[in-house]
Structure 1
Amino acid sequence: MHLISHAFTLLTAFCLAVTAAAAPDIVADASTVFLLRADAAKGALVDVTGRFQPEVSGGEVVADPVWGACLKLSAGDKNGITLKDDGKINFERGMTLDAWVCFDELLPLKGASLALKVGSFSWDLQKGKLNTAWLVFPSEEIFTTAPPQFKYFPVGGDTINGLMNVPLKKWTHLTMSYDESLGVVTTLMDGLVDRRRFRYRGAQRLQCDGKSQLSLFSGMKNCRIAAIKLTTGTPDVLPPTMEAYLNALPYRGQVMLTLDHIDPRLPLPIEVAIVWEQASGSSATLQTLTLDSHARRDLMFDAPTWLNSLHTYTVSAAAGGRQCFSRSLRLGNVKPAGRATIHADLTLSREGKKFYPLMMYHAMPQDYARMRELGINLVLNDFNLYRAHRTDPAGYVRELVQCLDAAQQHGLGMIVSANAAFGKLHTLAAAKDHPAALLWYGDDEPWGDLGRLHESYNTIKLLDPHLPVLVVQNNYSRLQDTAPAADILATDPYPVPNVSLRAVADATQSAIRAVAGRKPVWTVLPQYGGKVPTREELRCMVWIAIASRANGLGFFTWDERIRDASTGALKGWFTPEHPEQIEDLRIVLQELRPLEPMLLAPPAAQQPTLQPANPALHVLIKEADGKRWLIVANDSRRTEETTLEFGATPDADAQPLSAGSATLSLRNGKAPLKLPPLGVAVFELKTR
């Protein structure tokens, strides 16, 4: 028995030794800001670089078989580690924060933070995931008229919810990084990518307030910390690579392949091969090219001649003689010939007649006459139908057909929900041949893995090649991922009541960049519940979207009521109960309706510049059939002014087309402009 006990002791010691040997060798280098380790001899957490004196609350240094020593946080509520910055931290070119930690119990849901530096970043572990709570980047000062309004723009902190569950009762390496050159946020667990997001605003410097302290593991309980390391500079968390996006352009018989987010660490030139594989499996090299820069490339190809089939495009790239990227992207190849058509100028037509889309959410047949009278020409009511027929697909379809019949009777078009991921394909057979069905609503604010959305798009197109697919995305950093799943990409900025109306332009222009200007972009605006704009705000948002080149508008929403489970009563926002909002919508749309020829006109090739530059002013020139129009909108809550410079342009008289338009005179290529708060002006420019 003694020999067995001795052998067991030796085996245990051997296993511990092997385990201890597996601990990584973490060292500081020239880019290390700090490296915190538990010092058993001192019984304290120390910074190996000697720059910081960490302050620990609710923790003690204990022995650990893997690391030798670690910091253990107790079961108290005020645990954490604090480091005073005093100007020693900066995030030039980016940053990486690594933590080697073992959580012995479920992670706290509220009031705890993994890493927090006010004015810079916050990562937390809410719901047991590694989440990017917010990041701070350069902003613009905003004039406000009420305390709740934000004094800066943009508002929102690049929130990215984690994917994987943080392991319990095992040592885990958590990594949080931001790469300035690519504008990409990456989180990893034990070297595996958890989330990777390219910011829609691209490469910007992560901000750093030298007076703000850094808090680590604040409020965390019963966890052990082996090391925490902050590194500045370009992160080295993943091998350098790139991204590829495949967009079908069926209404012009083309395909667009975008190569983007090409890591500057890749040596030039970069060799790229694009292989096209048909549904049968036969393949051919479509194109090879050499990239001599890291800039985005949008490549255009003719669509395959084999229609109503699934094609695969494989993109491979090599730099320095080694493959750095390979991805296969699928395309449902169709040739639409239906009643709804997207034209090369990104306008939409119904039975050959172009119209500027004005969409209303959640309106039912009893409201269709009013929709038509207001100027609405498209309705979407999947929310209402699902509310009434949640578990009855047959009932949903029956009422859907009734809605389509009523829409046709009132001269409206309908947008019908269709989504393969949700199993909502039963609507296609019922609606695809109905003359009132004009679009499929592919998804609303999708998140998570958007590969399923691309598969849904291909499925819908193969089942019905003709009607366009519309998808709405509110996470602007996912617009480029969403675009391949849509023929029309929409975004829904809801800035009122507290955010600058500049958010409308920001969202619209971000969507246009995502599709490289080759697909229509619509902007959805709020008018419901806590997001009710004033008439001036609603009008200003509409014209900011148009000045930002939106090809259509949506309004959310007519009916947002939810049925009370206990009483069966419908409760929530219902626009007919707010006649003042109906009147606001009437007045705003009344101004648009006679200007539809201008709304359908393409932007002019030459646009004016603003001297001095003023981000609050949104300006667009449109041209068609020998006519020129000027649209200007002021997102500021104070008077703004500038001078529009047109270059070598003949003198022109500006004829006001909108209510309360400012006066404007174009002389010698210049036009001084002054707009009141939230002001809008629309002119026809007539050469003298």
Structure 2
Amino acid sequence: MIRRGLEKLRRLGLVSCLLVGAGPLSAVSVAEPFFPIGIYGVGSTEHLQQVHEAGFNTVVGPANKAFLDQAQALGIQVIASPGASAGRDFDPSKFEGKVIDYEPHPALHSWYLVDEPDMTRTPPWQVAMDQRLFKAHAARKPTSLVLFDGVHARDYGAIPDILMVDSYPIPWMPLAHFSQHMTWARSIAGPAKPLYAIAQAFDWYAFRDAVPGETRFRVPTHEELKCMTYLALAQPVDGLLFFTFASGKWFLPDHPDLWHGLLDIVKSLHQHSYLLGCKRLPWVPSYKIAPYEKRRSETQEPSIHLSHLRDAHDTEHLMLINTTEHPLTLSLSLPSSGQRWQLAGSPSGTPFGGFRPGSLYKIPFEKYEVRILQGVEMD
């Protein structure tokens, strides 16, 4: 258990361990692994207080002393731009001052190296060169890089310390695209690569110039936002951020349904923190999805995502997620691992409690519904 915890800390490179003695590994005490639950677009200390009260522990914000000091006081980590973005004109004179001044700051989580180089067609070799140049200027904190297409992890995934992928499909693309991009990124980058997901918490109408010709504007519903959140955790990811708190004419609290829905989800993540940073287990499930014509999503993947996970306490979980807007029924043979399965949050006597392994169960799903089964010891 301790070895796995230390490996997690090594992957993130963002938490410290305390040596209690010079003895064997069993004498090492480690801090609880840090899982970023973050949000973009936090540019002022006033907004820092607001997102802290909302339950976020990480923000994408500026690198300046007042902001970082306030973040530290609130226990918030900051992903900050060094003042230049990898690509053309990546000039050390633009970033070396910030690196010297703020690299040691305890609130600095990582340096935001570049946003969506795959969209701007910045060549991977250029980003890699700039990453090496940046590290040569005494930058020791991790670097993070954001892709808009998960499949491009094959070109850029090895460059940064932390790989991030954003996908904002609502409403002009199927929500299943979010899951698809996270799956591509995780599959290509591998399980050891720290991967952060960035989910949509905005209305494309505020950024309509970026989607010319599009007219179907709205904010994600609570069901869609929750679905994207748990699709990320099912990969699993090592951090989860939402875009965005404030940007241009967009201010998230001005949209109370979306804002309060997001607050509810963040609260749920803290209440079920055992689901953060789980390890995905090998599983080839035996299942059927009905109705037959809805068995695949618009991305031609199974319309219900299935993941078998193990948390830091060795408890196993099955994460079952309807990625479509259609009601579905899943017929599933549960894994046989010397335990029974219980729907999270339901007493064992309910219709969805006390599943036995090796049997076929029919489980109904509403649109975008998330169901989590938890393994418990056999009676």
Please tell me the TM-score bracket, short chain as reference.
0.7 to 0.9
Distance of 2:373 and 2:335 partners within structure 1:
18
Q: Structure 2 stretches of 5 or more lacking a match?
A: 1-5, 18-30, 205-217, 290-294, 296-301
Cα 1:401–1:657 shift into 2, 3 Å: farther
Residue in 1 that maps onto 2:78: 414
Contact residue 236 and residue 278 of structure 2 kept, 8 A: no
Cα distance per residue 1:187-232 (max 9 Å; x no partner): xxxxxxxxxxxxxxxxxxxxxxxxxxxxxxxxxxxxxxxxxxxxxx
Within the candidate set 376, 386, 405, 2:69 is matched to 405
Within the candidate set 621, 632, 635, 2:308 is matched to 621
CA shift, 1:651, in A, is: 4.7
Please report the TM-score for the alignment, with normalisation by the length of structure 2: 0.77
Paired amino acid for 2:115: D
Residue in 2 that maps onto 1:669: 358
CA shift, 1:457, in A, is: 1.4
Counterpart secondary structure, 1:517: coil
Counterpart secondary structure, 1:622: strand
Counterpart secondary structure, 1:600: coil
Counterpart secondary structure, 2:309: strand
Distance of 2:309 and 2:151 partners within structure 1:
29
Corresponding position: 1:547 with 2:234: yes
Residue in 2 that maps onto 1:142: none
**More helix by proportion, 1 or 2?**
2
Distance of 1:610 and 1:664 partners within structure 2:
20
**Matched residue pairs, number?**
319
CA shift, 1:490, in A, is: 1.2
**More strand by proportion, 1 or 2?**
1
Which of the pair has more CA radius of gyration? 1
CA shift, 1:414, in A, is: 0.5
RCO comparison, higher one (Cα < 8 Å, 6+): 2
Cα 1:378–1:662 shift into 2, 3 Å: farther
CA shift, 1:404, in A, is: 0.4
CA shift, 1:405, in A, is: 0.7
CA shift, 1:465, in A, is: 5.3
Cα 1:610–1:665 shift into 2, 3 Å: farther
Paired amino acid for 1:362: G
Distance of 1:367 and 1:591 partners within structure 2:
22
Contact residue 342 and residue 349 of structure 1 kept, 8 A: no
Identical residues among aligned pairs (%): 23
Contact residue 233 and residue 277 of structure 2 kept, 8 A: no
Cα distance per residue 1:445-468 (max 9 Å; x no partner): 012322111012112223345311
Within the candidate set 314, 337, 344, 1:656 is matched to 344
Correspondence list, 1:231-250, <5 A: none
Corresponding position: 1:534 with 2:221: yes
Cα distance per residue 1:266-319 (max 9 Å; x no partner): xxxxxxxxxxxxxxxxxxxxxxxxxxxxxxxxxxxxxxxxxxxxxxxxxxxxxx
Contact residue 650 and residue 669 of structure 1 kept, 8 A: no
Cα 1:587–1:502 shift into 2, 3 Å: same
Cα distance per residue 1:556-595 (max 9 Å; x no partner): 111111xxxxxxxxxx111232233221111111111122
Distance of 1:620 and 1:626 partners within structure 2:
16
Please report the TM-score for the alignment, with normalisation by the length of structure 1: 0.44
Distance of 2:357 and 2:105 partners within structure 1:
54
Distance of 2:329 and 2:101 partners within structure 1:
53
Distance of 1:346 and 1:643 partners within structure 2:
36
Residue in 2 that maps onto 1:371: 51
Distance of 1:420 and 1:681 partners within structure 2:
41
Within the candidate set 135, 155, 174, 1:461 is matched to 135
Within the candidate set 548, 556, 559, 2:246 is matched to 559
Q: Structure 1 stretches of 5 or more lacking a match?
A: 1-340, 383-396, 562-571
Cα distance per residue 1:243-286 (max 9 Å; x no partner): xxxxxxxxxxxxxxxxxxxxxxxxxxxxxxxxxxxxxxxxxxxx
CA shift, 1:375, in A, is: 1.7
Paired amino acid for 1:631: M
Aligned-residue Cα RMSD (Å) equals 2.5
Residue in 2 that maps onto 1:609: 285
CA shift, 1:519, in A, is: 0.4
Cα 1:452–1:639 shift into 2, 3 Å: same
CA shift, 1:344, in A, is: 6.6
